[in-house]
Structure 1
Amino acid sequence: MQISDLHFGFFYGPEQLQTLVDQVRSLHPDLFCFTGDLIDRRFSRGEAIKVSDLLKQIDAPYRKFAILGNHDYWGDTALVKDCLTSAGFRLLINEWTLVKKGNDVISVSGLDDLLNGKPDHSKVFNDARFDLDLFHLMLVHEPDFAKVISSDPVDLQLSGHSHGGQINLPFFGPLFTPPLSRKFSSGLYQINERLTLYTNRGIGTTILPFRFACRPEITVIELG
Structure 2
Amino acid sequence: MRRGGLRGIATVVVIVAVYLGLNAFVGWNAIVWLDSWLPGYPAWALWIPLALAALGYLVGRLKFLPAPVGRGLKVFGAYYIGLFEYAVLLLPVADLVVWLCYANGAPYKMTVEATGFVVAVLLLACFAWGTWNAWTPIVRRYDIDVAKAAGGRRRLDIVLVSDLHLGNIVGNRHLDRLLPRVADIKPDLILLAGDVLDDVIEPFVRNKMGDKLGQLSAPLGVYAVLGNHEYYGGHIEEYVGRMAALGIPVLRDEWATPGGIVQVVGRKDKSAEAMDPEGRKPVAELLAGLDRALPIVLMDHQPYGYAVAAEAGVDILVSGHTHRGQFAPNHWITRRIFELDWGYLRKGKLHAVVSSGFGTWGPPVRLASRSEIVHLSVTFTGGA
Same fold per superposition (TM over 0.5)? yes
The alpha carbon displacement at 1:168 in A equals: 2.8
Partners of 2:315 and 2:351 within 8 A in 1? yes
Residues 231 and 271, structure 2, Cα contact 8 Å, conserved in 1: no
Return the alpha-carbon distance in structure 2 between the equivalents of residues 208 and 49 of structure 1. 19
Could you tell me the percent identity over the aligned residues? 28
AA partner of residue 77 (structure 1): I
Aligned length: 214
Inter-partner Cα distance in structure 2 for 1:222 and 1:182? 24
Counterpart of 1:200 in structure 2 is 355
1:83 aligns with 2:239: no
After superposition, give the CA deviation of every residue in 1:87-107 in whole Å (9 maximum; x if it has no partner): 211221111121337xxx221
Tell me the equivalent position of 1:209. Answer: 364
User: Partner letter of residue 317 of structure 2?
Assistant: Q
Change (3 A) 1:11 1:77: same
Separation in 2 of the partners of 1:78 and 1:18?
A: 26
In 1, Cα distance between the equivalents of 2:333 and 2:248?
29
Unpaired stretches in structure 1, ≥5 consecutive residues: none
**136-145 or 207-216, larger mean C-alpha shift:** 207-216
User: 1:67, CA displacement in angstroms?
Assistant: 0.4
Whether 2:216 is the aligned partner of 1:58: answer yes
Cα offset, 1:31, TM superposition: 0.4
- When the two structures are superposed, what TM-score results if normalisation uses the length of structure 2? 0.52
Q: Deviations over 1:136-166 (max 9, x none)?
A: 1111101123233221111000100111111
The secondary structure found in structure 2 opposite 1:33 is strand
- Partner Cα separation in structure 1 for residue 209 and residue 269 of structure 2: 21
Alpha-carbon RMSD: 2.2
**Closer, same or farther: CA 58–48 of 1 in aligned 2, 3 Å:** farther
Alignment partner of 1:100 is 2:255: no
Tell me if 1:152 matches 2:309: no
Contact 2:297–2:315, Cα closer than 8 Å, also in 1 = yes
Q: 1:156-175 maps to which residues of 2 (within 5 A)?
A: 156-169=316-329, 174=331
> Higher Cα Rg: structure 1 or 2?
2
> The residue matched to 1:212 in structure 2 has which SS?
coil
Q: Structure 2 matches for 1:101-116, cutoff 5 A?
A: 105-116=261-272
Q: Secondary structure at the match of 2:376?
A: coil
Partner Cα distance (1:99, 1:146) in 2? 24
Give the structure with the larger strand fraction: 1
For the residue of structure 2 that corresponds to 1:213, the secondary structure is coil
1:219 pairs with 374, 378, 382, which one? 374
